[in-house]
Amino acid sequence: MKLSELKAIQLAELFSALSDASRVRIISLLLDGEMGVGALAEKLNMTESAVSHQLRGLRQMRFVRARKAGRQVFYRLDDDHVEKLYRMGLEHVQHG
């Protein structure tokens, strides 16, 4: 099937969002519900800065959505497509 250059780039960008282990782990935690930046950082053993930088990218891709509560910002998955992609990938990895 012929694919336009634009769509190819969009698809590549979509999969790029899941092409890093830190982002994958962030998403795996958010599957259970929303979580703040600090909590994510602690669970993932990453600095808050690094997590925040990654969340920015995920936000721009509309993979996650932010909710501000006081001085905390809670993130959650924005789209169930993300979860579907994640689960399909996991299936492939587990018995591939």
**Binding region for a second copy (CB under 8 A):** 1-3, 5, 7-12, 14-16, 18-25, 28-29, 31-32, 62, 79, 81, 84-86, 88-94, 96
Choose between 21 and 69: whose C-beta lies nearer to a second copy.
21
Site string for DNA, 61-90 (x = CB under 7 A): -----x-x-xxxxx----------------
Strand 64-69 versus strand 72-77 pairing type: antiparallel
Helix (H) or strand (E) holding 89: helix 80-94
> DSSP label at 96?
-
Q: Which amino acid is at 22?
A: S
What distance, in Å, lies between the first and last C-alpha atoms of the chain?
Answer: 25
The contact set with DNA (CB under 7 A) reads 16, 19-20, 22-23, 36-38, 46-50, 52-57, 66, 68, 70-74
